[in-house]
Each structure stands twice: as C-alpha cells, then as structure tokens.
Amino acid sequence: MSHLNRSALIYVAVFGTFWGLLEASLGSVLHALRLPFSGSILSSLGLIVLLVARRVNNVPGSSALMGVIAGAIKVLGFATVKLGPLAGILMEALIVETAMSLLGPGLPGFLIAGVVEGVYPIIQTLVTKSILFGASFVPVILDTARGFSERVGGTLGWWLLALYILIHIAFGLAGASAAWIIQRQLQQDLNSDAHPQ
C-alpha cells in the first residue's frame, strides 16, 4: 500500500475529475430523460471509476479525496447548490474508502462495496423522507405493500418491494463486477507492455 505522494495525488485528481465530469454531464442527461433507476445507473458508473482508481492507486484516503473533487465539480455544474447529489457522491466515496480499507482492493472488497452502494440509495431515501415527512414514512411504505398484496391477493406487494431492493443491489454488483473486469484488463495490458514478446 502506498502513501499519498505526488504521483498518488495526480491519480486522485485525474480519476476524481473524470468522475465529476461524468456526474455533471451524464447525470444531467439521465435526470432530463427521467429514466427509472437513473440514480443507480449513475452510481454504478461512479463505482466503476472509484474501484478501478483504487486498484490502480491503492492509497488510503484516495477514494474519499476523489469524492471531494467529483462532488465539487458536480456542485459547480448546478446554478444553485444542491446538497442531495453532493451528499450522494461523498457517501459513495466513503463507502468505497471503508470497503477498501477493511477488505483491500480485491474481489471481496469490490463486491461488498457494490452491495452497500446498491442498498445505500434506498437507505438515503428512507432517512431523508423520514426527516422530511416524519417517522411514519417507513410504516406507510410497508402498509402500501401490505395493502397492495391484500387487494390483488397473495404477496405480490412484498415481492415487488423485494424486487425493487434486488434491482438496486444488482446495479451495485454490476458496477463492481465491471470494475473488476476493467482493472484486470488494464493490468494485463500493462504487463504485456512491460514484457513484450
């Protein structure tokens, strides 16, 4: 594991800037299109950037610093400061930072980061809505699932709720898996360049 030297800071700046530009540009397009799960799509792309960067530049604190850079670029892309997207980016960076610090930049760390990244938007929504609308927000969701199931018969409401959660987790795992494949390809390309036939 390296330290946060000049070379590491260059990696942080490059990857953090790329992530921030991706958030500011593609994020605006996805928001305008109002696609379902657009936040999860954007989060998965950010996860790919974060994980590949951490594998290339395994320096403690680098993922968190990338989040600060990406968040600043995202905020500058708005006419007014929006705390929601900034908080999401910073939290995504902290999740990866924590997973990489505890598990290292191997496949288990990638997959755990993917699962947590997938579940985090749901948790963020529940916490935010509970703050805005009161503690009764979560029971309202559960009552809706229960009521839907009672109307159509069976447990369809609960299955739909479970499917919604699983789709979020799938996006996170897809991002983590894509990052693992990309970093392995990069490593193979670097090795072949260093040892030409």
pLDDT tens-digit map of 158-180: 788 888 889 999 999 999 999 99
Q: What's the pLDDT at 30?
A: 83
Q: What's the predicted TM-score (pTM) here?
A: 0.85
Identify the residue whose tokens are 């790919």.
Answer: 48
pLDDT one-digit tens code per residue, 31-82: 788 888 888 899 999 999 999 999 999 999 999 999 999 999 988 876 556 7
In which element (H, E) is residue 165 found? helix 156-194
What helix, strand, coil percent values describe the chain, rounded to 5?
85, 0, 15
Distance CA 6, CA 11 (A): 9
